[in-house]
Structure 1
């Protein structure tokens, strides 16, 4: 089956809530993703297979040259097939098109190989305050 990727794709909030819950191991929420994304995001990438949402990535930005990846998720039964890397590649292309100069991501240690090896991110020094 063919996976297609869509920048700023039209999606159903319920479908994204289910995918997000599966990917981040929490109960499905009632998040109004459409409103959140329209307000805060440069864009987002949807991965589709046979009309089903199987992957998602959010790109927020500072309104200038910095873009940030959040909420990268691929359906459990579709992982390890390059879908996540294709989501990131699409996000990088679209952020570059929007004249962003930097694409940032933070992640948990178990995703290190994915972001550095599969997606081409470089290690940097960064800081974080848990709020």
Structure 2
């Protein structure tokens, strides 16, 4: 398995929608990811295997010191092989290069070992309002 990681990689919406559906077990959506990312993101990381999109992470930001990991997704057949951690590592490197000082993430409890152990995040107090 050779995976190529690309900051601000060129992808098509259909491929990213299909990857999300595969990873989350949902129907394929018709999200315009390109427009969303161009408007709200510092960047994103694509993982490519033999020309196919096999992983993705979005890095949103506040235009200053804070970047946020969103939409981390890895194809089911590539999970538990380091692809997600590598995506987050590239995201952290590029956020640092953009002079961000903090990289935030929130996640469901079952993902704690991934984000804390594999990616190096640490726990902090935070708040959340369900809207």
Q: Which runs of 5+ in 1 are unaligned?
A: none
Partner of 1:52: 52
SS in 2 for 1:63: coil
TM-score (norm 2): 0.98
Partner deviation per Cα, 1:90-120 (whole Å, 9 max, x = no partner): 0000000000000000000110000000000
Superposition RMSD on alpha carbons, in Å? 0.6
| TM-score normalised by L of structure 1 | 0.98
Question: 2:25: which partner in 1?
Answer: 25
Q: Distance in 2 between matches of 1:119 and 1:46?
A: 17
Q: Secondary structure at the match of 2:58?
A: strand
2:92 matches 1:100: no
Point out 4+ residue stretches in structure 1 off by more than 4 angstroms.
none
CA distance in 2, matches of 1:25, 1:37: 22
Per-residue deviation, 1:25: 2.7
2:92 counterpart SS class: helix
The residue correspondences of 1:72-111 to structure 2 (distance < 5 A) are 72-111=72-111
Counterparts of 1:71 and 1:24, CA distance in 2: 11
Separation of aligned partners in 1, 2:73 and 2:98:
23
Aligned-residue offset at 1:24: 2.4
Q: Distance in 2 between matches of 1:23 and 1:77?
A: 9
Alignment match, 1:128:
128
> Distance in 1 between the 2:106 and 2:21 partners?
19
Are 1:64 and 2:64 an aligned pair?
Answer: yes
Query: Partner residue of 2:34?
Result: 34
